[in-house]
Structure 1
């Protein structure tokens, strides 16, 4: 099958959407399909893998980490038209999505759109004020675009319900994000703990992701502050970077927990399996997640989670089996972290359950489901 994938964000940007898109492209090509990906150029000028082409882009001086596509390239438009794609698949409903829609209509091919994100929770990046109006615009843009597609997919049932509440009427299929499980079978967590200076007898809680407002990380810092006197062996490691890093570092100082919080910075995605296996537990206080890739990766590393009780978490995690799901409040997170820190047997039980759960999220299963969706959409043309 010939598949054109369009996305606003790709490497070297680090995000769950980028990772899931990259793995899907690789798996489709591994199976022999002619899958090609189109994305905007990045200022870092990364060396791309086969099958990736980039449109011109510009970067505005706003608080965003994603280049803005200039959706015109005579060479690439000619290449896309000559490719004769059977299906077009966009990862977002914005500029690249509209380009995919235009080209799909031109070639009478079906258009599949994956909604990964609750965009209304990210409007502060483009509209620092007037959040209410910006959220309404975000909902309108998603609804109006989705209703022009042949098929919508999303990684979570809760997101399907949210899209229906927006007024999306097109067919929606839930396909959880896929993960490459192989690197987790050989990851060396002990080496990571040594490199970070985390003692073997410490209870290491980790977070992997952007240090951004929507991640709600002050909840975890305050939770560590509540535990600092009674649980002296708790260490929090934040893996990643982002616009809130300086503020979080200052907060750790103010709360008197700077020696308990390690800001590990951004690490290559190929190294994250070792960071997950190094941790005793993973924390995710965000309530905006749809099907958080970092949580699935934590499961693959055998790392139980303390997570905010939201639809995105409930669809992946099971309370008291591979996770403790609690309200996104410092006191609730502190109690869950205390429980795990004090009970090694519970951590071991949950670790085994986490590894078993992760098997459900293999990239092979994910790709098979997308191929079924593609074939069904093509068959209806």
Structure 2
């Protein structure tokens, strides 16, 4: 099979989407399938091949002022047309509902190519990045002012958030995403809980579940024990506003009151780091909250086992790759009751689930877990068991089967040509 991927995010930028694309394309290419990956151009660190059967085509892009890590791919219909004509794909697989995803679905319809879309990211939950106060970087201005005016605090910035928190923005983003995914032949959800959510969101296309998978030969855990007055708490991921790391730090403040020798390590990079560093300082936790910056995924399997508890307050996970990595390494976890997290962090089985944004509950449940050595080891054992259901090779088998079935079912798919397409042909 020849499969054409489109994604508005990819390596060298590392996130869950990029890791998923890399894993599936590499493992499927070893089975003889060919891939072309259409992705943004980042500059330093870009590459155009991943082995013999995988080529990467880069597209010119700008960036979102409120989040420079998000690339906005500039229109390149002629280049996409050439990629399709040269590669002759059997299937198009769209991984993001951004502009490159939109260009992809238009091209797929024009050429009559079967199309799959994976719902990796709940874009409507990231509507904050198109809010006026972050587009105009008022959050950065706040922290510059705050250096000189110590009476100001984190709550002052929240006033901007509340003022700009219009549901209309979220509804517009949701409609844009739905319009794209409802034009795909099949939609893939990384978890069963998100599959249910997509129906509520208004997705009408057939939805099938395929986990992003985990290399359990690398992320291999042993049952852990805990009996210490210095717990090492861990959070890993993209350090952006929607991940609610501020809630994690506030919860850790309460954990720290119970365990004064406790530490919280935050691994990752992103636009929220300056505000979180200021928050930790404001709470008197500068020596106990450690920001490591980016750690390559190739090293993470050696990092997780050094910690005692994984803590997250993210309310927008479609699966939670870092959570899966953590529990595969035997860590108990505490998270929030939102989207896919309860599928990996199972309440009273391998950790605890608190209500979203409930700082005290997150802290109390973390302390409860750390205070019971017997339950801690039981939860560690269960984490490894839960992760075992996400073995990468099994997920690759499922994806390959879906590809074959969609290609077969959509043979002779009708082409749709717009006036714009005809204009491009003339040009």
Structure 1 length as normaliser, TM-score? 0.90
1:318 to 329, 340, 346: 346
Aligned partners of 2:231 and 2:259 also within 8 Å: no
> 2:398 and 2:375 mapped to 1: Cα distance?
34
- C-alpha deviation, 1:292, in angstroms: 0.8
Is 1:344 matched with 2:373?
A: yes
Alignment deviations for residues 68-116 of structure 1 (CA, whole Å, 9 cap, x no partner): 2124275664243122211110001232222222332343221101111
Separation in structure 2 between the aligned mates of residue 102 and residue 219 of structure 1, nearest angstrom: 40
Change beyond 3 A, Cα 1:207–1:140:
same
Q: CA deviation at 1:311?
A: 3.0
**In 2, are the aligned partners of 1:237 and 1:262 still within 8 Å (CA)?**
yes
**Correspondence 1:351-366 to 2 at 5 A:** 351-366=380-395
Partner of 2:35: 35
Q: Is the 8 A contact 1:299 1:354 kept in 2?
A: yes
Contact 1:25 1:36 (C-alpha < 8 Å) held by counterparts: no
Deviation at 1:238, TM superposition (A): 0.5
1:141 matched to 2:145? The reply is: no
Equivalent residue for 1:13?
Answer: 13
Unaligned segments of structure 1, at least 5 residues = 190-199
Partner residue, 1:109: 113
> 1:254-278 CA distances to partner (integer Å, 9 max, x unpaired)?
2122222111111111111122111
Matched, 1:166 2:201: yes
Write the deviation string for residues 122-176 of structure 1: whole angstroms up to 9, x where unpaired.
Answer: 0111233464221111111112112211111111233223322232211111212
1:206 offset after TM fit, Å? Answer: 0.2
Query: Hey, what's the Cα distance between the residues in 1 that align with 2:21 and 2:249?
Result: 31
Q: How far apart, CA to CA, are the structure 2 residues paired with 1:75 and 1:144? A: 24
Deviation at 1:8, TM superposition (A): 0.6
User: Structure 2: where are the runs of 5+ without partners?
Assistant: 133-163, 411-427
Task: Tell me what 1:182 maps to.
Answer: 217
Confirm whether residue 376 of structure 1 aligns to residue 411 of structure 2: no
Q: TM-score, normalised by structure 2?
A: 0.81
Residues matched between the structures, number: 370
Report the aligned-residue RMSD.
2.2
- Deviates most, 303-312 or 49-58: 49-58
Q: Secondary structure at the match of 1:53?
A: strand
Asked if the contact 1:276/1:301 (under 8 Å) is kept, the reply is yes
Out of 238, 257, 279, the residue aligned to residue 210 of structure 1 is 238
Aligned 1:1-381 pairs, distance under 5 A: 1-48=1-48, 49-50=50-51, 51=54, 52-72=56-76, 77-128=81-132, 129=164, 131-185=166-220, 202-328=230-356, 329-381=358-410
Q: For the structure 1 residues 25 and 71, does the alpha-carbon distance in structure 2 shift closer, same or farther, using more than 3 Å as the test?
A: farther
CA distance in 2, matches of 1:276, 1:322: 16
Which deviates more from structure 2 when the two are superposed, residues 165-174 or residues 42-51?
42-51
Verify the 8 A CA contact 1:122 1:214 in the aligned structure 2: yes
